[in-house]
Amino acid sequence: MPTLLLTRSVVERLVDPAALVPDLRAAFRAYSTAPALRAQRVRSSLGDAGGSATVLFPGMVTGIPAYTVKVHAKFPEQHPAIRGVLCLHDARAGELLAVMDSTHLTAVRTGLAGAIAADVLARPGADTVAVVGAGVQGEHQLRSLAMLRALRMVRAYDTRHEQAQAFAIRMSDELGIAVDASASLDAAVREADIVLAATWARTPFLFPPMLKPGVHVTTLGADEPGKCEVAAEVLHDAVVVCDDRDLAVRMGAVGGAGLGPDAVDAELGEVLAGVHPGRAAPTETTVYGGVGLAFQDLVVAWQVYRRAVAQRVGHPVDFLS
């Protein structure tokens, strides 16, 4: 069987984010509650090139007869900042089913994971949102959350105010809700029920006095060693949920804030499965910090591949010839 080559534009056309939500929820539950191979994530600096390279493997989910290996690099000054490829293999014989661009796929699954966490951890009725980091991932975070929750008001903040302004216009038009650009971080987050952070920050910028009681924070920028968005003081007093305990400390929000394993209350899969209650009171602060796991890639890649086969799109290549 030939391997399908799927470009970014094809992947964008084939992905259906709403249809992925139940599959991702189930995959998170299985990852945290059933005996399974834990995430493996290898990261290396690219030195003077100014970027970093990451390999995520193997992406495996019960019920999907395939696995993934993803290799991508991050170049913060480029657009898009994340570039790479994902290889989808048959799980029985290792046959290479598809090679696809990973940029859009990664953004979609990260946005959906953050939104699922915000939906399950935020207070019922929470409808005021702050987006910190008006980039591609900020768009996906907000777009995904708007699929799961009715939102009333969104305030966007970016260190480049003109980018926040453009974000506000674009997302307000797309989602049909009020989105304003805030001139300061404090103005953006002080009344927010939900804070969505996706930046390149290496020092924390969210501290307890800035946040209202009962807030939920999703922090996704801290996905490599040395990155941090949420201060240790916030995490210390919050219910802290992550996608993977070990990785949260080694390269995620917990370790980035200088804290250890004791700071983690649960994995998202445990909350979704009812093993951990998540939020227990309206006044609690909850924080979700995700680094991104390979099984999330597989859920999206499998959808893309099946649709590509059904619609007869992509470029077939025989790598064994």
| pLDDT (tens place) for every residue of the chain, 321 residues total | 899 999 999 999 999 999 999 999 999 999 999 877 788 888 888 877 778 889 999 999 999 999 999 998 888 777 787 889 999 999 999 999 999 999 999 999 999 999 999 999 999 999 999 999 999 999 999 999 999 999 999 999 999 999 999 999 999 999 999 999 999 999 999 999 999 999 999 999 999 999 999 999 999 999 999 999 999 999 999 999 999 999 999 999 999 999 999 999 999 999 999 999 999 999 999 999 999 999 999 999 999 999 999 999 999 999 988
Same domain, 36 and 168: no
Same domain, 102 and 122: no
Residues 54 and 202: their CA atoms lie apart, in Å, by: 18
Query: CB–CB of 43/225 below 8 Å?
Result: yes
- Output the pLDDT for position 266: 98
Same domain, 69 and 190: no
Query: CB–CB of 196/218 below 8 Å?
Result: yes
Same domain, 189 and 313: no
Same domain, 303 and 278: no
List the CATH number of the domain containing 67: 3.30.1780.10
Residues 197 and 217: their CA atoms lie apart, in Å, by: 8
Amino acid at 319: F
Could you tell me the two tokens for 295? 């099984």
Same domain, 161 and 218: yes
Q: Are strands 3-6 and 96-101 parallel, antiparallel or unpaired?
A: parallel
- Output the pLDDT for position 80: 80
Query: CB–CB of 32/278 below 8 Å?
Result: no
Contacts of 35 (CB under 8 A, 6+ apart): none
Same domain, 146 and 228: yes
**Residue 131 to residues 128, 141, 150, 182, Cα–Cα distance (Å):** 10, 8, 16, 10
Helix (H) or strand (E) holding 19, with range, is helix 17-33
Same domain, 251 and 304: no
- Output the pLDDT for position 51: 80
- Output the pLDDT for position 37: 78
List the CATH number of the domain containing 215: 3.40.50.720
Same domain, 243 and 299: no
Print the domain residue range for 199.
Answer: 113-289
Same domain, 185 and 270: yes
- Output the pLDDT for position 317: 96
Residues 45 and 253: their CA atoms lie apart, in Å, by: 19
Same domain, 140 and 281: yes
Could you tell me the two tokens for 72? 């991508």
Helices 103-121 and 17-33 cross at an angle (nearest 10°) of: 70
- Output the pLDDT for position 281: 97
> Which value, to the nearest 10 degrees, does the dihedral of the CA atoms of residues 254, 81, 147, 86 take?
-90
- Output the pLDDT for position 227: 95
Q: How many folded domains does the chain comprise?
A: 2
Residues 131 and 56: their CA atoms lie apart, in Å, by: 27
**What's the sign of the alpha-carbon dihedral 151, 152, 158, 160?**
positive
- Output the pLDDT for position 57: 92
Residues 41 and 171: their CA atoms lie apart, in Å, by: 32
- Output the pLDDT for position 100: 98
